[in-house]
Every structure is written in structure tokens, then in C-alpha cells.
């Protein structure tokens, strides 16, 4: 079932997510719903907290770009190597993109949907997505990694998100109207 994605300004996005105690039908259904939601919204990653469930679960699917499809429960990044600078966006901050420096390769451990431990590594776009989604589990958004100048440039748009998130969630205001304002304000 497609879930509603929480938008910047919703306080849940700034919470630290709770560990998953048991991989059960609820968690597997949540992950299936998250994949369906992510595909609909054309993302490459989605954390459970972004759909209002503050559990340490996220998904990544960079297979269309030569990467991996992952569902990670209680993930931990164990190693970061190298650096890469690239554009990031977020389904919870629609319409905004910014340059973020991330590790080029990450090692990580997690639990899989089968309840078994996973230890793996990822590089390039998959590493970027793993780091981005892992940040969500700790209440961190990609905008927190932007340079002070870039944050200042988008401060008006971020205030608008924060001011309107309840109206967006109730369906009184469409995300599209804020994205259109962003496009005009940023000269896109």
C-alpha cells in the first residue's frame, strides 16, 4: 500500500528512530509498502520515518544505475572511505537539490528481511543513498549537510515547508505549489 511521505517541517523527521526488536510480518509489509511508495515517487531510497514510522529501517534501489536493491533493518555504517561530491534531493524535501559530500565507499552491517545479519559494502550512488537514508534514522536531512551559503539561499523555501507541513499533510495545500514557489525563487 502506498504511504504518504512526511514533508520537511514535520517534527517526526527530526526524531531518532527506534531499533526494530523483531523482523516480522509487520516489518516485511512496511518494507513492501515503502518500495511501492518509493517507486511511485521516483526515489532511490526511503527511510521508514519518512512514512511516519520511526523505526530503524530503510530501503535503497539504485539497480537502474548499476547499483543494488537493499532493505536494511537496524543498519550501522562501519566504514567510510574516500569522498564524492554530488547532487542530492529528498522525497521529504521535494524540489530542492544540493551538493553534498559523502564517502565514496561505505561498509555496513544490518539485519535483512529474513532476520539474518548482513555485512556488505557499497560505493558510488549506492553508498550515497545508504548514507542519506541512514541519516534519516538519526533525524538528519540532506539540507543539514549543505554549505552555509546554500542553506542561506534556500532558507525562505525551508521556512515555507516548515510553516505549511500540516496543511500539506491534511491535503489542504499541494506540495506542487511549494515546489513551484521553489522553482521561481531559485530561478530553476
Say what the pLDDT of residue 157 is: 78
Say what the pLDDT of residue 46 is: 98
Write the CB contacts of 2 (distance below 8 Å, at least 6 apart in sequence).
Answer: 33, 36, 37, 40
* DSSP 8-state assignment for residue 21: S
**Residue of 101, 124, 133, 176 marked active site:** 133
- Smallest CA-to-CA distance from 161 within 147, 141, 188, 145 is with 141
CATH number of 11-146: 3.90.45.10
Say what the pLDDT of residue 176 is: 62
Cell 558510488 found at: 124
Say what the pLDDT of residue 32 is: 98
d(C-alpha 56, C-alpha 19), whole Å = 5
Question: Catalytic residue at 101?
Answer: no
Per-residue pLDDT of the chain (188 residues; tens, 9 = 90+): 999 999 888 999 999 999 999 999 999 999 999 999 999 999 999 999 999 999 999 999 999 999 999 999 999 999 999 999 999 999 999 888 889 999 999 999 999 999 999 999 999 999 999 999 999 999 999 999 998 888 888 877 777 777 766 676 676 766 665 555 544 444 33
**Predicted structure pTM score:** 0.88
Amino acid at each position: 500500500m502506498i504511504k504518504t511521505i512526511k514533508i520537511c517541517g514535520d517534527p517526526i523527521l527530526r526524531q531518532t528512530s527506534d531499533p526494530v526488536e523483531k523482523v516480522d510480518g509487520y516489518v516485511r509489509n512496511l518494507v513492501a509498502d515503502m518500495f511501492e511508495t518509493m517507486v511511485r515517487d521516483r526515489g532511490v531510497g526511503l527511510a521508514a520515518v519518512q512514512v511516519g514510522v520511526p523505526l530503524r529501517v530503510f530501503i535503497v534501489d539504485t539497480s537502474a544505475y548499476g547499483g543494488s536493491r537493499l532493505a536494511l533493518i537496524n543498519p550501522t555504517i562501519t566504514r567510510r572511505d574516500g569522498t564524492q561530491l554530488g547532487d542530492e534531493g529528498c522525497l521529504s524535501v521535494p524540489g530542492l537539490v544540493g551538493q553534498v559530500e559523502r564517502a565514496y565507499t561505505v561498509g555496513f552491517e544490518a539485519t535483512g528481511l529474513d532476520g539474518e545479519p548482513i555485512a556488505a559494502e557499497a560505493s558510488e550512488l549506492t553508498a550515497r543513498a545508504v548514507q542519506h537514508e541512514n541519516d534519516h534514522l538519526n533525524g538528519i536531512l540532506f539540507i543539514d549537510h549543505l554549505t552555509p551559503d546554500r542553506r542561506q539561499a534556500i532558507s525562505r523555501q525551508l521556512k515555507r515547508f516548515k510553516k505549511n507541513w500540516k496543511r500539506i499533510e491534511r491535503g489542504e495545500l499541494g506540495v506542487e505549489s511549494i515546489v513551484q514557489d521553489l522553482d521561481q525563487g531559485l530561478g530553476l
